[in-house]
Structure 1
Amino acid sequence: MKNLIIIIATGILLTGCEKVSKSINETFEPVADTTAQHTKNEEIPVSVPSPYSPAVEKQIEEAQRLVSTMLEKHTKTRTDTYKEGENTDFLTNEEKLKSAEEALRKLPQYAGKEIRVYNIIHFNDNGSIRAMLQHPTNPGYIDNYEYKDGKWSDPTPEQMSVRDDIESRLVPLEKIDFANVAKAANVYHQKIEQVEGAKPITTIYISIANNNLRWFPASINGSRERYSIQLNQNGTLKKFERE
Structure 2
Amino acid sequence: MKRCLHIIVAPGIWICPFLLFISCQQLSQSITDTFNTKPEEAMQRGSDERITGFVTDAAALNHAERLLRELPQYSGKSIYLYADIHFYDDGRIMAKLQHPEKPDYVDAYNYQGGQWSGPIPVQLSVHDNILERLVALDSVPLQTAAKVVANYNEKAASIAGASSTDHVYLIIHHGITRWYPNRIDGSREAWDVFFNLDGSIASFVRN
TM-score by length of 2: 0.73
Secondary structure at the aligned position of 1:155 is classed as strand
Give the counterpart letter for 2:116 in structure 1.
W
CA RMSD of aligned residues (A): 1.5
Mapped to 1, the partners of 2:167 and 2:199 lie a distance apart of: 14
Q: Is the 1:171–1:212 Cα contact (8 Å) retained in structure 2?
A: no
> Quick one: which amino acid aligns to residue 159 of structure 1?
Q
**Residue from 85, 103, 108 that aligns with 1:121:** 85
1:181 maps onto 2:145 in alignment: yes
Query: Please, which of 169, 189, 202 is the counterpart of residue 225 of structure 1?
Result: 189
If each structure's helix is expressed as a fraction of its own residues, which one has the higher value? 1
Q: CA deviation at 1:222?
A: 1.7
Is the Cα contact below 8 Å between 1:90 and 1:97 reproduced in 2?
yes
User: SS where residue 83 of structure 2 aligns?
Assistant: strand
SS in 1 for 2:95: strand
Question: Structure 2 CA distance, aligned partners of 1:100 and 1:93?
Answer: 11
Specify the code of the residue in structure 1 equivalent to 2:177.
Answer: L
Which amino acid is the alignment partner of residue 144 of structure 1?
Answer: A
Alignment partners' CA distance in 2, 1:161 and 1:86 = 37
Task: Using the aligned pairs only, state the percent identity.
Answer: 42
CA distance in 2, matches of 1:127, 1:143: 20
Corresponding position of 1:130 = 94
C-alpha distance in structure 2 between counterparts of 1:234 and 1:99, whole Å? 18
1:71-97 residue CA offsets vs partner (Å, 9 max, x unmatched):
xxxxxxxxxxxxxx9561112111001
Are the equivalent residues in 2 in contact too, given 1:147–1:153 (CA < 8 A)? Answer: yes
Partner of 2:120: 156
SS in 1 for 2:118: coil
Q: Which residue of 1 aligns with 2:10?
A: none
Tell me the equivalent position of 1:197. 161
Which blocks of at least 5 consecutive residues in structure 1 are unaligned?
A: 1-84
Deviations 1:128-151 (A, max 9, x none): 100000111111111111000111
Q: Is the 8 A contact 1:213 1:233 kept in 2?
A: yes
Match of 2:200 in 1: 236
Superposed CA deviations along residues 13-71 of structure 1, whole A, max 9, x for unmatched, are: xxxxxxxxxxxxxxxxxxxxxxxxxxxxxxxxxxxxxxxxxxxxxxxxxxxxxxxxxxx
| CA distance, structure 2, for counterparts of residue 87 and residue 112 of structure 1 | 31
Whichever structure has more strand as a proportion of its residues is 2
Distance 1:187 1:87 in 2: 22
One-letter amino acid of the counterpart of residue 141, structure 1: Y
Residues 1-243 of structure 1 mapped to structure 2, 5 A cutoff? 88-243=52-207
Equivalent-residue separation in structure 2 for 1:202 and 1:162 (angstroms): 35
CA contact (8 A) 2:80 2:98 kept: yes
Runs of 4+ in 1 over 6 A off after TM superposition: none
**Alpha carbons 1:87, 1:202 under 8 Å: kept:** no
Aligned residues: 159
Larger radius of gyration between Structure 1 and Structure 2: 2
Residues in 2 aligned to 1:99 and 1:153: alpha-carbon distance in whole angstroms = 15
- TM (norm. structure 1) is 0.62
